[in-house]
Amino acid sequence: MTSFADCTASEVLAIMSSRLLEEGQVVFAGVGVPLLAATLAQRLRCAGLTILFEGGVVGPMIEPGQLPPSTNEQRCTKRANMVLSSTDVLLLLQRGHVDIGFMGGAQIDQHGNLNSSYIGDPENPRTRLPGTGGGNDISSLTRMIVAMRHERRRFVEKVDFVTSPGFLDGGTSRRDRGLLAGGMYRVVTDLGIFGFDDETKRMKIVALHPGVTLEQLRDNTGFEMLHDKQIAVTTVPTERELTTLRELDPDRLYIA
Amino acid sequence: MDVMAYPALREKLAARDRSLREKVMSLEEAAALVNDGDSVGIGGSTLSRTPMAMIWQLVRAGKKDLAVSRSITSSEGDLLFASGICKHIMTSWFSQGIVWGVSKVMRHHVENKLARYEEWSHLAMGMRFRAGAMGVPFLPMRSMLGSDVLKLRPEAKSITCPFTGEQLLLIPALNPDVALIHVQRCDAYGNAQIDGLQFMDMDLAMAANRVILTTERIVSNDQIRRVPELTKIPFFAVDAVVEVPYGCAPHECTNVYEPLFSHMDDYTSRVNADPVAGMQEYIERYVKEPKSWNDYLGMLGLTELLDAARRGRSMLND
């Protein structure tokens, strides 16, 4: 048995989020931790997991140590079943062929909205971030898992800009604004795993990682996190999970 | 960028010489087909099949006010902004690549309002080119609704579906004046074959009013006819063919070479440390000073090119 002290934050994210994926699912994965976690799940538990990449890839089997710099290069197509145009692979989301969308996040709010476009006022931004890529499409059209670092500046009450929609203003607002499918399912961080309240669609603790206290969570979260009286605790990464993950990314491109 | 009325759209294409003829020319000659102020669609995505040699030539030719569109924009966007040939990029994501963090060159230009980064979702970019390719003014889509990405894009129109009563978003067609697309091989007429990921290139080629192909190699028409199912762009939609080996460097061309990672590491650390002077020095040294594309490749270095080629071809090893 390993302990959390043996893992980097990105390793915790990759292993914990990998465990949420199930055999037979079709998973649309972003670059970085999502790509690693989906590949880890494929290798350890779910040989029948199908990964999709926005470059147009259907069912690749990423080679250890040959991680792509984004989801648009030739390494993404390694041992794939099919390549499509990027437009057509994204349309699989709209048609409903995808079980889970899986991506990283820069900033998230209590309703699961993600910002990867602007810090500050969009008209006069303090920082222009790279933007949505496929993020808006994935989160608009399917059930989402987000893996990201748990920091107060990243977990805010309301994002500066909704790049990729979660539950918008909560309640039924997502559906009311025309997004008839999908929504945030889980947010995985280095402190725990979070879901959303059925009614209010506010973020809620599903489980905390061993040793993480509510106080520590509050210190690192910019809004009030909902929770039940009893809080579940996750299981520490196994030796096998950690070893396999490190074999996938020996250069520590994404698990540094 | 206004959506063109259908008769105007047809007229522009009718003006093109569709005849079967050889179109092989130099980078310099092809650059002359791009006018100042043109809307320019760029093929490939992120670090893959970027028509870098053509963009490099447009910078050398001192083009002005190009309005550029691409599915996802990487370091060629830095080059377009910092060289001053383009002040407006339409894309879904713009940075050098996630492993290098956020492009300080993009940030410098956008945050200081020197240039505009117009953000659409990735699927919306695809719908824009596809509508353009289909000869219709828009296509309906279900993403971007409810988000702030849509708030900044009044060009897209939200409607109530006449069949279901559901809310839908209409994405306007994009018909670039000219498309720049790099392929693994084509013949002298422009029948182009693409290996690996196609991204939005087929829609882009059909949507554009002019297409400039750069290619790793020019092959015979017989060669094309042996595997016509690999042909993704037909000759009559092509206006120029330029043979440019390693035409995507320092980006990749599937099965031929991977990105030149050492050069990209060096480039990003240099320009992100100093997005103004560092970027200008890079443009002087790598774009303006080389005598030719081959001279530029020589500056990238034989060792790195061979390593990129070894990695690129390794896709076909097993």
Interface predicted TM-score (ipTM): 0.97
Question: Span A93-115, mean pLDDT?
Answer: 97
B179: nearest Cα among B196, B155, B200: B200
Enumerate residue ranges in chain B where pLDDT < 70.
Answer: 1
A63: nearest Cα among B260, B318, B19, B121: B318
**8 Å CB contact of B196 and A32:** no
Domain with CATH 3.40.1080.10 in chain B: 21-137+175-316
Give the relative orientation of helices B104-111 and B75-82 as an angle to the nearest 10 degrees.
Answer: 40
User: How confident is the model at residue A1, as a pLDDT?
Assistant: 56
Looking at the structure, give the CATH architecture of the domain made up of residues B21-137+175-316. 3-Layer(aba) Sandwich (3.40)
| Dist CA A192 CA A207 (whole Å) | 6
Bond prior to A64 in cis (omega within 30° of 0)? no
User: How confident is the model at residue A201, as a pLDDT?
Assistant: 98
Band the pLDDT of A245: cuts 50, 70, 90: very high
**8 Å CB contact of B196 and A133:** no
In contact, B180 and B55? CB cutoff 8 Å: yes
User: How confident is the model at residue B1, as a pLDDT?
Assistant: 59
Q: Is B238 on the interface with A (CB under 8 A)?
A: no
pTM equals: 0.97
User: How confident is the model at residue B130, as a pLDDT?
Assistant: 98
User: How confident is the model at residue B318, as a pLDDT?
Assistant: 82
Indicate the burial class of B287 (C-beta count within 10 angstroms; 0-12, 13-18, 19 or more): middle
User: How confident is the model at residue B75, as a pLDDT?
Assistant: 98
**8 Å CB contact of A87 and B93:** no
Look up tokens 């963090």; give the residue: B101
Biggest CA pair distance of chain A: 51
How far is the CA of B117 from the CAs of B54, B85, B109, B179, B244, in angstroms? 21, 14, 9, 19, 29
The percent of residues in chain A predicted with pLDDT above 90, rounded, is 96
Which of B122, B130, B148 lies at the smallest CB-CB distance from A161?
A: B148
**8 Å CB contact of B158 and A78:** no
> What does the pLDDT look like over A53-78, one tens digit per residue?
999 999 999 999 999 989 999 999 99
| Dist CA B258 CA B236 (whole Å) | 30
| Dist CA B230 CA A138 (whole Å) | 29
User: How confident is the model at residue A6, as a pLDDT?
Assistant: 85
SS3 B248: coil
| Dist CA B148 CA A154 (whole Å) | 18
- DSSP for residue A186: E
> What does the pLDDT look like over A120-140, one tens digit per residue?
999 999 999 999 999 999 999
Q: Is B316 on the interface with A (CB under 8 A)?
A: no
User: How confident is the model at residue B5, as a pLDDT?
Assistant: 96
Active site residue A123: no
Q: Is B95 on the interface with A (CB under 8 A)?
A: yes
> What does the pLDDT look like over B156-185, one tens digit per residue?
999 999 999 999 999 999 999 999 999 999
Domains of chain A: 4-248 (3.40.1080.10)
The two beta strands, A183-188 and A143-147, are parallel
| Annotated catalytic residue within A11, A22, A23, A54 | A54
How far is the CA of A245 from the CAs of A4, A152, A250, in angstroms? 15, 27, 9
Look up tokens 């476009």; give the residue: A117
| Torsion sign across C-alpha atoms B67, B68, B69, B72 | negative
Q: Is B160 on the interface with A (CB under 8 A)?
A: no
Lowest mean pLDDT among A5-9, A32-36, A190-194, A223-227: A5-9
> What does the pLDDT look like over B202-248, one tens digit per residue?
999 999 999 999 999 999 999 999 999 999 999 999 999 999 999 99
Report which residue type is found at A170.
G
| Dist CA A73 CA A63 (whole Å) | 13
In contact, B60 and B85? CB cutoff 8 Å: no
Ramachandran assignment for A250, one of left (phi > 0), alpha (psi -120 to 50 degrees), beta (any other): alpha
